[in-house]
Amino acid sequence: MKYHFKDLGLSNTKEMFAKANKEGYAVPAFNFNNMEQLQGIIEACVEEGSPVILQVSTGARKYIGKEMLPWLAKAATAYVEASGSDIPVALHLDHGPNYAEARDCIEYGFSSVMYDGSHHPYDENVAEAKQVADFAHEHDVTVEAELGVLAGIEDDVVAAEHVYTQPDEVEDFVSKTGVDSLAIAIGTSHGAHKFKPGDDPKLRLDILAEIEKRIPGFPIVLHGSSAVPHQFVEMINQYGGQIADAIGIPDSELRKAAKSAVAKINVDTDGRLAFTAGIREVFAKKPGEFDPRKYLGPAKDYMKEYYKDKIRNVFGANGAYKAGTAR
Protein backbone atom coordinates (compact mmCIF):
# COMPACT_ATOMS: atom_id res chain seq x y z
CA MET A 1 0.00 0.00 0.00
CA LYS A 2 1.55 3.24 -1.14
CA TYR A 3 -1.29 5.37 0.32
CA HIS A 4 -4.34 4.47 2.34
CA PHE A 5 -7.38 6.60 1.54
CA LYS A 6 -7.85 7.64 5.17
CA ASP A 7 -4.45 9.36 5.11
CA LEU A 8 -5.77 11.51 2.25
CA GLY A 9 -8.84 12.55 4.26
CA LEU A 10 -11.14 10.48 2.03
CA SER A 11 -14.17 8.34 2.94
CA ASN A 12 -15.51 5.14 1.42
CA THR A 13 -19.12 5.15 0.22
CA LYS A 14 -20.68 3.01 2.93
CA GLU A 15 -22.11 5.68 5.21
CA MET A 16 -22.72 8.05 2.31
CA PHE A 17 -25.06 5.54 0.67
CA ALA A 18 -26.79 4.49 3.89
CA LYS A 19 -27.63 8.13 4.68
CA ALA A 20 -28.67 8.87 1.08
CA ASN A 21 -31.07 5.93 0.96
CA LYS A 22 -32.49 6.71 4.38
CA GLU A 23 -33.08 10.36 3.53
CA GLY A 24 -34.17 9.88 -0.10
CA TYR A 25 -31.48 11.66 -2.09
CA ALA A 26 -28.67 10.51 -4.39
CA VAL A 27 -24.95 11.15 -3.95
CA PRO A 28 -23.46 12.94 -6.97
CA ALA A 29 -20.56 11.16 -8.67
CA PHE A 30 -18.81 13.65 -10.91
CA ASN A 31 -15.92 12.73 -13.23
CA PHE A 32 -12.88 14.97 -13.53
CA ASN A 33 -9.65 15.17 -15.52
CA ASN A 34 -7.92 18.33 -14.33
CA MET A 35 -7.60 20.81 -11.48
CA GLU A 36 -10.25 23.26 -12.69
CA GLN A 37 -12.91 20.56 -13.04
CA LEU A 38 -11.99 19.32 -9.57
CA GLN A 39 -12.30 22.88 -8.20
CA GLY A 40 -15.71 23.27 -9.84
CA ILE A 41 -16.93 19.99 -8.32
CA ILE A 42 -15.57 20.41 -4.82
CA GLU A 43 -16.63 24.06 -4.51
CA ALA A 44 -20.16 23.20 -5.68
CA CYS A 45 -20.48 20.33 -3.19
CA VAL A 46 -18.97 22.27 -0.28
CA GLU A 47 -21.28 25.24 -0.87
CA GLU A 48 -24.31 22.93 -1.08
CA GLY A 49 -23.30 20.69 1.83
CA SER A 50 -23.49 17.67 -0.48
CA PRO A 51 -21.42 14.49 -0.16
CA VAL A 52 -19.34 13.88 -3.28
CA ILE A 53 -17.77 11.03 -5.19
CA LEU A 54 -14.80 12.22 -7.23
CA GLN A 55 -14.79 9.88 -10.14
CA VAL A 56 -11.80 8.99 -12.30
CA SER A 57 -11.86 6.76 -15.37
CA THR A 58 -8.83 4.65 -16.28
CA GLY A 59 -8.16 7.17 -19.05
CA ALA A 60 -8.42 10.12 -16.67
CA ARG A 61 -6.04 8.42 -14.25
CA LYS A 62 -3.49 8.02 -17.04
CA TYR A 63 -4.02 11.64 -18.07
CA ILE A 64 -3.54 13.03 -14.55
CA GLY A 65 -0.83 10.53 -13.66
CA LYS A 66 -1.18 7.94 -10.92
CA GLU A 67 1.45 9.62 -8.72
CA MET A 68 -0.19 13.05 -8.88
CA LEU A 69 -3.80 11.93 -8.44
CA PRO A 70 -3.70 11.03 -4.71
CA TRP A 71 -2.42 14.54 -3.98
CA LEU A 72 -5.17 16.16 -6.01
CA ALA A 73 -7.63 14.19 -3.88
CA LYS A 74 -5.79 15.30 -0.76
CA ALA A 75 -6.00 18.89 -2.04
CA ALA A 76 -9.76 18.50 -2.33
CA THR A 77 -10.18 17.20 1.24
CA ALA A 78 -7.88 19.95 2.55
CA TYR A 79 -10.15 22.46 0.82
CA VAL A 80 -13.22 20.92 2.48
CA GLU A 81 -11.60 21.13 5.89
CA ALA A 82 -10.49 24.74 5.40
CA SER A 83 -14.00 25.68 4.27
CA GLY A 84 -15.55 24.57 7.57
CA SER A 85 -17.66 21.99 5.79
CA ASP A 86 -17.85 18.32 6.84
CA ILE A 87 -18.92 16.71 3.56
CA PRO A 88 -17.47 13.24 2.98
CA VAL A 89 -15.35 12.90 -0.16
CA ALA A 90 -14.69 9.61 -1.97
CA LEU A 91 -12.12 8.97 -4.69
CA HIS A 92 -13.65 6.35 -6.97
CA LEU A 93 -12.38 4.37 -9.95
CA ASP A 94 -14.98 4.54 -12.73
CA HIS A 95 -15.41 1.48 -14.98
CA GLY A 96 -12.41 -0.40 -13.66
CA PRO A 97 -11.63 -2.99 -16.35
CA ASN A 98 -10.10 -5.72 -14.17
CA TYR A 99 -8.78 -6.81 -10.78
CA ALA A 100 -5.26 -5.50 -11.48
CA GLU A 101 -6.43 -1.92 -12.10
CA ALA A 102 -8.78 -1.97 -9.10
CA ARG A 103 -6.00 -3.23 -6.86
CA ASP A 104 -3.54 -0.64 -8.12
CA CYS A 105 -6.06 2.13 -7.43
CA ILE A 106 -6.65 0.83 -3.89
CA GLU A 107 -2.88 0.84 -3.34
CA TYR A 108 -2.77 4.44 -4.54
CA GLY A 109 -5.36 5.87 -2.18
CA PHE A 110 -8.75 5.25 -3.82
CA SER A 111 -11.54 4.81 -1.27
CA SER A 112 -13.92 3.13 -3.69
CA VAL A 113 -13.58 1.22 -6.96
CA MET A 114 -15.88 0.03 -9.69
CA TYR A 115 -15.22 -3.27 -11.36
CA ASP A 116 -17.19 -3.25 -14.59
CA GLY A 117 -17.57 -6.81 -15.81
CA SER A 118 -20.99 -6.16 -17.29
CA HIS A 119 -19.85 -7.07 -20.79
CA HIS A 120 -18.39 -10.41 -19.66
CA PRO A 121 -20.39 -13.63 -19.22
CA TYR A 122 -22.29 -13.64 -15.90
CA ASP A 123 -20.04 -16.18 -14.14
CA GLU A 124 -16.87 -14.30 -15.06
CA ASN A 125 -18.41 -11.04 -13.89
CA VAL A 126 -19.28 -12.69 -10.54
CA ALA A 127 -15.82 -14.23 -10.08
CA GLU A 128 -13.80 -11.08 -10.80
CA ALA A 129 -16.17 -8.79 -8.87
CA LYS A 130 -15.75 -11.07 -5.85
CA GLN A 131 -11.97 -11.02 -6.21
CA VAL A 132 -12.05 -7.20 -6.26
CA ALA A 133 -14.44 -7.03 -3.28
CA ASP A 134 -12.33 -9.43 -1.19
CA PHE A 135 -9.17 -7.36 -1.68
CA ALA A 136 -10.97 -4.02 -1.33
CA HIS A 137 -12.68 -5.00 1.91
CA GLU A 138 -9.35 -5.94 3.51
CA HIS A 139 -8.56 -2.23 3.18
CA ASP A 140 -12.02 -0.86 4.01
CA VAL A 141 -12.53 0.20 0.37
CA THR A 142 -16.04 -0.10 -1.10
CA VAL A 143 -16.86 -1.74 -4.44
CA GLU A 144 -19.38 -1.09 -7.20
CA ALA A 145 -20.13 -3.70 -9.87
CA GLU A 146 -22.48 -3.70 -12.84
CA LEU A 147 -25.18 -5.91 -14.34
CA GLY A 148 -26.74 -5.11 -17.71
CA VAL A 149 -25.07 -3.18 -20.53
CA LEU A 150 -25.64 0.49 -21.28
CA ALA A 151 -26.32 1.37 -24.91
CA GLY A 152 -23.88 3.69 -26.63
CA ILE A 153 -20.16 3.82 -26.11
CA GLU A 154 -18.88 2.27 -22.92
CA ASP A 155 -15.12 2.52 -22.97
CA ASP A 156 -14.13 0.12 -25.75
CA VAL A 157 -17.42 -1.74 -25.56
CA VAL A 158 -20.11 -0.64 -27.97
CA ALA A 159 -23.59 -1.92 -27.18
CA ALA A 160 -25.97 -1.07 -30.01
CA GLU A 161 -29.06 -1.73 -27.94
CA HIS A 162 -29.97 -1.58 -24.30
CA VAL A 163 -29.44 -4.82 -22.45
CA TYR A 164 -31.50 -4.02 -19.39
CA THR A 165 -30.52 -5.49 -16.05
CA GLN A 166 -32.47 -8.65 -15.31
CA PRO A 167 -34.09 -8.31 -11.87
CA ASP A 168 -33.87 -12.11 -11.46
CA GLU A 169 -30.06 -11.93 -11.38
CA VAL A 170 -29.42 -9.17 -8.86
CA GLU A 171 -29.94 -11.04 -5.61
CA ASP A 172 -27.65 -13.88 -6.65
CA PHE A 173 -25.05 -11.41 -7.94
CA VAL A 174 -24.78 -9.27 -4.82
CA SER A 175 -24.78 -12.23 -2.45
CA LYS A 176 -22.10 -14.13 -4.41
CA THR A 177 -19.81 -11.14 -4.95
CA GLY A 178 -20.19 -9.22 -1.68
CA VAL A 179 -20.05 -5.88 -3.54
CA ASP A 180 -21.35 -2.73 -1.82
CA SER A 181 -23.36 -1.19 -4.66
CA LEU A 182 -24.73 -2.22 -8.03
CA ALA A 183 -24.87 -0.27 -11.29
CA ILE A 184 -27.88 -1.18 -13.41
CA ALA A 185 -29.03 -0.58 -16.98
CA ILE A 186 -32.52 0.94 -17.22
CA GLY A 187 -32.19 3.10 -20.32
CA THR A 188 -29.41 5.56 -19.50
CA SER A 189 -26.28 5.64 -21.65
CA HIS A 190 -22.94 7.44 -21.77
CA GLY A 191 -22.21 10.59 -23.76
CA ALA A 192 -24.24 13.40 -25.31
CA HIS A 193 -26.50 11.33 -27.58
CA LYS A 194 -28.68 9.24 -25.32
CA PHE A 195 -31.85 9.34 -27.41
CA LYS A 196 -32.60 9.97 -31.06
CA PRO A 197 -34.70 13.00 -32.00
CA GLY A 198 -38.34 11.98 -31.65
CA ASP A 199 -37.68 9.29 -29.00
CA ASP A 200 -39.57 9.41 -25.72
CA PRO A 201 -36.68 9.98 -23.26
CA LYS A 202 -37.95 7.70 -20.51
CA LEU A 203 -36.15 5.41 -18.09
CA ARG A 204 -37.42 1.91 -17.30
CA LEU A 205 -38.37 2.81 -13.73
CA ASP A 206 -40.47 -0.36 -13.65
CA ILE A 207 -37.28 -2.43 -13.86
CA LEU A 208 -35.74 -0.31 -11.10
CA ALA A 209 -38.79 -1.04 -8.91
CA GLU A 210 -38.44 -4.79 -9.59
CA ILE A 211 -34.76 -4.67 -8.66
CA GLU A 212 -35.54 -2.79 -5.44
CA LYS A 213 -37.98 -5.54 -4.47
CA ARG A 214 -35.28 -8.22 -4.82
CA ILE A 215 -32.58 -6.35 -2.87
CA PRO A 216 -34.41 -3.89 -0.59
CA GLY A 217 -32.28 -0.99 0.61
CA PHE A 218 -29.23 -2.06 -1.41
CA PRO A 219 -27.46 0.97 -2.97
CA ILE A 220 -28.18 1.23 -6.70
CA VAL A 221 -26.03 3.25 -9.13
CA LEU A 222 -27.08 4.97 -12.35
CA HIS A 223 -24.42 5.61 -14.98
CA GLY A 224 -24.90 7.75 -18.06
CA SER A 225 -27.18 10.22 -16.30
CA SER A 226 -26.23 13.55 -17.84
CA ALA A 227 -29.11 15.82 -18.82
CA VAL A 228 -27.15 17.34 -21.75
CA PRO A 229 -28.39 20.91 -21.10
CA HIS A 230 -29.50 22.80 -24.19
CA GLN A 231 -27.98 26.06 -23.07
CA PHE A 232 -24.44 24.64 -23.17
CA VAL A 233 -24.90 22.75 -26.45
CA GLU A 234 -26.26 25.95 -28.00
CA MET A 235 -23.38 28.03 -26.63
CA ILE A 236 -20.86 25.53 -27.98
CA ASN A 237 -22.46 25.62 -31.42
CA GLN A 238 -22.90 29.40 -31.35
CA TYR A 239 -19.18 29.86 -30.64
CA GLY A 240 -17.83 27.60 -33.37
CA GLY A 241 -18.50 24.08 -32.09
CA GLN A 242 -20.45 21.35 -33.83
CA ILE A 243 -22.59 19.09 -31.69
CA ALA A 244 -25.74 17.83 -33.37
CA ASP A 245 -28.82 16.11 -31.93
CA ALA A 246 -27.55 15.99 -28.36
CA ILE A 247 -30.22 14.61 -26.01
CA GLY A 248 -29.86 13.60 -22.35
CA ILE A 249 -31.92 12.24 -19.45
CA PRO A 250 -34.75 14.58 -18.41
CA ASP A 251 -34.34 15.93 -14.87
CA SER A 252 -37.84 14.69 -14.02
CA GLU A 253 -36.83 11.04 -14.68
CA LEU A 254 -33.67 11.38 -12.61
CA ARG A 255 -35.51 13.03 -9.74
CA LYS A 256 -37.81 10.01 -9.46
CA ALA A 257 -34.78 7.71 -9.44
CA ALA A 258 -32.94 9.80 -6.82
CA LYS A 259 -35.84 9.39 -4.39
CA SER A 260 -35.67 5.59 -4.70
CA ALA A 261 -32.88 3.15 -3.78
CA VAL A 262 -30.64 4.90 -6.33
CA ALA A 263 -27.84 6.11 -4.06
CA LYS A 264 -25.31 7.33 -6.67
CA ILE A 265 -25.83 9.12 -9.97
CA ASN A 266 -22.93 9.52 -12.43
CA VAL A 267 -22.45 12.71 -14.41
CA ASP A 268 -19.51 13.49 -16.67
CA THR A 269 -20.85 14.77 -20.00
CA ASP A 270 -22.75 17.73 -18.47
CA GLY A 271 -19.58 19.02 -16.84
CA ARG A 272 -17.64 18.60 -20.08
CA LEU A 273 -20.29 20.57 -21.96
CA ALA A 274 -20.39 23.40 -19.39
CA PHE A 275 -16.60 23.58 -19.32
CA THR A 276 -16.26 23.59 -23.12
CA ALA A 277 -19.02 26.20 -23.52
CA GLY A 278 -17.16 28.48 -21.10
CA ILE A 279 -13.86 28.15 -22.95
CA ARG A 280 -15.44 28.64 -26.38
CA GLU A 281 -17.30 31.72 -25.22
CA VAL A 282 -14.10 33.43 -24.06
CA PHE A 283 -12.20 32.40 -27.19
CA ALA A 284 -14.99 33.75 -29.43
CA LYS A 285 -15.57 36.98 -27.52
CA LYS A 286 -11.94 37.77 -26.67
CA PRO A 287 -9.75 36.34 -29.42
CA GLY A 288 -6.71 38.12 -28.00
CA GLU A 289 -6.93 36.35 -24.64
CA PHE A 290 -4.15 33.88 -23.87
CA ASP A 291 -4.03 33.74 -20.07
CA PRO A 292 -5.32 30.25 -19.15
CA ARG A 293 -6.92 31.61 -15.97
CA LYS A 294 -9.13 33.87 -18.08
CA TYR A 295 -10.74 31.01 -19.98
CA LEU A 296 -10.42 28.08 -17.56
CA GLY A 297 -11.79 30.20 -14.69
CA PRO A 298 -15.12 30.97 -16.42
CA ALA A 299 -15.28 27.36 -17.63
CA LYS A 300 -14.94 26.18 -14.03
CA ASP A 301 -17.63 28.62 -12.89
CA TYR A 302 -20.17 27.39 -15.47
CA MET A 303 -19.54 23.83 -14.35
CA LYS A 304 -19.78 24.73 -10.67
CA GLU A 305 -23.05 26.67 -11.00
CA TYR A 306 -24.60 23.91 -13.09
CA TYR A 307 -23.63 21.24 -10.56
CA LYS A 308 -24.96 23.33 -7.65
CA ASP A 309 -28.29 23.57 -9.42
CA LYS A 310 -28.30 19.84 -10.15
CA ILE A 311 -27.50 18.95 -6.53
CA ARG A 312 -30.44 21.07 -5.34
CA ASN A 313 -33.02 20.31 -7.98
CA VAL A 314 -32.27 16.77 -9.09
CA PHE A 315 -30.15 14.83 -6.58
CA GLY A 316 -31.67 16.52 -3.54
CA ALA A 317 -28.33 16.16 -1.70
CA ASN A 318 -28.02 19.80 -0.61
CA GLY A 319 -27.91 20.33 3.13
CA ALA A 320 -27.10 16.68 3.87
CA TYR A 321 -23.93 17.93 5.60
CA LYS A 322 -22.57 21.25 6.79
CA ALA A 323 -21.95 23.72 3.97
CA GLY A 324 -18.88 25.94 3.83
CA THR A 325 -16.79 28.21 1.69
CA ALA A 326 -13.06 28.85 1.38
CA ARG A 327 -12.71 31.22 -1.56
Ligand X SMILES: O=C(CO)COP(=O)(O)O
Ligand Y SMILES: O=C[C@H](O)COP(=O)(O)O
Q: Does 270 bind Zn ion (CB under 5 A)?
A: no
Give just the sign of the alpha carbon dihedral 270, 33, 266, 85. negative
Helix (H, G, I), strand (E, B) or coil at 181: strand
Q: Are 213 and 260 in contact (CB under 8 A)?
A: no
How many other C-beta atoms are found inside a 10 Å radius of the C-beta of residue 65?
A: 10
Which positions from 123 through 152 interact with Zn ion, judged by CB under 5 A? 146
Q: Does 116 bind Zn ion (CB under 5 A)?
A: yes
Closest to ligand X by CB, 38 or 323: 38
Phi, psi of 79 (to 5 degrees): -65, -45
Binding site annotation covers 146? Answer: yes
In the set 94, 123, 168, 180, the catalytic residue is 94
Q: Does 60 bind ligand Y (CB under 6 A)?
A: yes
H helices then E strands: how many in the chain? 12, 10
User: Interface residues with ligand X (CB under 6 A)?
Assistant: 31, 94-95, 190-191, 223-226, 266-270
Closest approach of ligand Y to the CB of residue 325, in Å: 28
Q: Does 57 bind ligand Y (CB under 6 A)?
A: yes
Residue 267 interface partner, choices ligand Y, ligand X, Zn ion, none, CB cut-off 5-8 Å depending on type? ligand X
Q: Rg of the chain's alpha carbons, rounded to an integer? A: 19
Binding-site string for Zn ion from residue 202 to residue 241, where x marks contact by CB under 5 A and - marks none: ---------------------x------------------
Closest to ligand X by CB, 220 or 282: 220
Break the chain down into helix, strand, coil percent, rounded to 5.
50, 15, 35
Helix (H, G, I), strand (E, B) or coil at 52: strand
- Pick the piece of the chain touching ligand Y (CB under 6 A) from 34-42, 57-65, 67-75, 198-206: 57-65
Concatenate the DSSP letters of all residues of 250-293 into one string. Answer: -HHHHHHHHHTTEEEEEE-HHHHHHHHHHHHHHHHH-TT---HH
Q: Is 94 a catalytic residue?
A: yes
Residues in touch with Zn ion (CB under 5 A): 116, 118, 146, 154, 223
Show binding-site residues.
95, 116, 146, 190-191, 223-226, 266-269
Q: Which residues are catalytic?
A: 94
Residues in touch with ligand Y (CB under 6 A): 31, 57, 59-60, 94-95, 190, 268
